A = this chain, B = another copy of it.
Amino acid sequence: MIDHRRLRVALLGAGSVGAQVANLLLTQASELAERAGADLELAGIAVRDVDAPRDIDLPRDLLTTDAESLIVGADIVIELMGGIEPARTHILAALNSGADVVTGNKALLATHGAEIFDAADQLGASVSYEAAVAAAIPIIRPLKDSLAGDRIRRIFGIVNGSTNFILDKMDREGLSAAEAQRIATELGYLEADPTLDLEGYDAAQKAAILASLAFHTHVSLDDVHREGIENITADMIDGARRAGFTIKLLAVCERLDEDGAEAISVRVYPALISRDHPLASVHGGNNAVFVEAQAAGDLMFYGAGAGGLQTASAVLGDVVSAARRHIAGGVGVGESPRQSLPTASIGRIHTRYQVTLEVADEPGVLARIAGIVSEGGVSVATVEQSPSSDAQGRAHIVIGTHRAREQALSDTVARLAASDVVERVVSVLRVEGE
């Protein structure tokens, strides 16, 4: 059944994902050829240093530092270098030379996606990027193709495995943030510079990519409201547990329906999730993404959120699909046309909140606080005062609100902070998934 065509595949990058991709292309060549309808010849692997140590042995004669030459004449270019440059230049060169591109580069797509997709459209080539979000979990293709005839209202989920590992360790083993981070680093869940994960940049890049696809618009990293987990303490997780919640770093992409004007909100922040919610059961480095669509209803996609081999599966799925298209003679079916939906500021979202205050443990404090909150137009659902005050005579009050506008809530918190009955605002957390 195999058409004896041969497609030249150029691989840029041999890190944890790239090395697995190279290995699978070499060791499962006949199976991949059968799937693709053509031999997938690994023409070369561009690396920064051919002598660098690697987890997987790769044939020395395939390694080169000359990415430009490797790209010339390739039918499919796989970009797994990461970062903006030279990845961007190489991808544009590949598209210009008529190659289809497969990439897992979320940082690049979240900042220069529009430029790259436009170039691909004009050149009739394709850019596939299933590996850019949630490793092997098929989420890009379902959004792009399977749900192409539906209207997506909301996407929310856990898209960063490292922070989920840390929060899960803290929740399940009672570890401090520092201890959990140390273990995550030891096990390879965190890079030497953990900022990208901890401060939510990685999740925000993925949120930008998902929102762009789901809402057929251009969302870049700058449009994403971003809060990381750097301020989440063991105390906060403990308090969440006692209230029936766990804390997860969530990416939320949603259509806002306010005064009839279309807008979207794309945001990443740690939020409270009910322990009954399926997202609360997403442990370790796993990812899970919920999609709420008008006709399809609620869908969930779950699996490993990271890992060289897992991500390589997503890359190879894209490579085989690109090869089939190449063989069939079809030009790349690009992204659907993008509108330019305005991105709403975080003040415009509506959700529930949990506000923890440190107060003087005196009569009348609770009533004063409830008064300030309701004056602000925020409706209180639950109030709980910690039974015992500390040596300084201070108590904690935890206020759970009904759905409120973020701007109203933050104005209210500011007034609470300024009032003479509140010593300190301990934490303000959003409650999602309800």
Assess the A146–B317 pair: CB atoms within 8 A.
yes
Q: Once the chains are docked, how many angstroms separate the CA of A24 from the CA of B295?
A: 9
Interface residue A386 (Cβ < 8 Å from any Cβ of B): no
Contact in complex: A296, B313 (CB < 8 Å):
yes
Which of B296, B304, B318, B320 is A314 in contact with, Cβ under 8 Å? B296
A333 touches B324 (CB 8 A): yes
Contact between A35 and B149 (Cβ–Cβ < 8 Å)? yes
In the assembled complex, 29 residue pairs joining A and B whose CB atoms fall closer than 8 Å, in A order, are A28-B151, A32-B149, A34-B337, A35-B149, A124-B328, A138-B146, A141-B145, A147-B313, A148-B320, A149-B315, A149-B318, A149-B320, A293-B313, A295-B309, A295-B310, A295-B313, A296-B313, A297-B304, A297-B309, A300-B300, A301-B302, A302-B302, A321-B333, A325-B330, A325-B333, A328-B330, A328-B332, A329-B330, A330-B333
A301's nearest neighbour on chain B, judged by CB, is B301
Cβ contacts A13-36/B at 8 Å (1 or 0 each): 000000010001000100110111
Query: Residue A1 at the B interface, CB < 8 A?
Result: yes
B295 and A316 contacting across the interface, CB-CB below 8 Å = yes
| 1/0 contact string of A322-349 vs chain B (CB within 8 Å) | 0011001111110011000000000000
A278 — nearest CB in chain B belongs to which residue?
B281
A300 in contact with B301 given A141-B141, A317-B145 (CB within 8 Å)? yes
On chain B, the residues within 8 Å of A309 by CB distance are 295, 297
Nearest to A147 among chain B residues (CB) is B317
Total copies of this chain within the assembly: 2
Say yes or no: B2 contacts A337, CB within 8 Å.
yes
> Given A278-B281, A302-B302, does the pair A149, B317 have CB atoms closer than 8 Å?
yes
Residues on B with C-beta less than 8 A from A20 are 295
- Determine whether the beta carbon of B293 is less than 8 Å from that of A298: no
Complex Cα distance, B297 from A146, in Å, reads 22
Q: How far is the CB of A96 from chain B (nearest CB, A)?
A: 19
Which residue of chain B lies nearest to A300 when distances are taken between CB atoms in the complex? B302
Answer whether A146 and B314 are a contact pair too, CB < 8 Å, given A296-B136, A307-B297, A329-B330. yes
Those of A268-314 within 8 Å (CB) of chain B: 278, 281, 293, 295-304, 307, 309-310, 312-314
- Interface size class, chain A: 35 or more
The answer to whether A153 has its CB under 8 Å from any CB of chain B is no
Provide the bound-state CA to CA distance between A320 and B1, in Å: 29
Q: Which residues of the partner chain B approach A330 to less than 8 Å between Cβ atoms?
A: 325, 328-331, 333
Task: Closest B residue to A324 by CB, please name it.
Answer: B333
> How would residues 191 to 219 of chain A score, 1 for a CB under 8 Å from any chain B CB and 0 otherwise?
00000000000000000000000001000
Any chain B CB within 8 A of the CB of A378?
A: no
The answer on a CB contact under 8 Å between B145 and A142 is no
B-chain residues with CB within 8 Å of residue A146 when the two chains form the complex = 130, 138, 141, 314, 317
Q: Are A296's CB and B310's CB within 8 A?
A: yes
Produce 1/0 per residue, A141-164, CB < 8 A to B: 110011111110000000000000
Assess the A329–B328 pair: CB atoms within 8 A.
no
A144 to chain B, nearest CB (A): 9
